[in-house]
Amino acid sequence: MSIAARLPMMTLPELTRLHDNAVRLAAGAPGKARDQASELLPLLDAEIAARRDGKKRTVEKPPKEPKAIAEAASKTPRVRPPKPPKPVKSESEKADDFLAGVTEALARR
């Protein structure tokens, strides 16, 4: 779907942001981007003017179905299984891990 076809579905802030970007590209972008922005500017100007004059969009967004919202709220949350317990380390394993960490930190310096 081209950008021109999406214009009626966009909000006014989205249209003004797109217009500002198109003006910037039409002024300084090289090649194809400048041409596309120049073609899009009159369409953006017309759509923004229609919105500001109080005319409705030419394409309305479909309303959200209340059924889908109610179904999402009624779903039960997924229960996660408990994590397995960590293995118990001996004092010498703890000391070895500590020394390995210190050695690694000193090696980074």
Residue whose pair of structure tokens reads 């989205």 in the numeric block? 14
The stretches of 9-90 forming alpha helices (DSSP H) are 12-28, 32-52, 66-74
pLDDT-derived band at 20, boundaries 50, 70, 90: very high
Asked whether the whole model's pTM tops 0.85, one would answer no
All residues at 6 or more sequence positions from 108 whose CB lies less than 8 Å from its CB, including other chains: none
The single-letter DSSP state of residue 75 is: S
Tokens of 76: 């039960």
Closest of 34, 6, 32 to residue 21, by C-alpha: 34
Closest of 80, 8, 75 to residue 44, by C-alpha: 8
pLDDT tens digits, residue range 51-68?
887 766 555 556 666 666
Q: Is the dihedral of CA 85, 89, 94, 100 positive or negative?
A: negative
Q: Give the whole-number percent of the chain exceeding pLDDT 90.
A: 28
Specify the pLDDT at position 69.
60
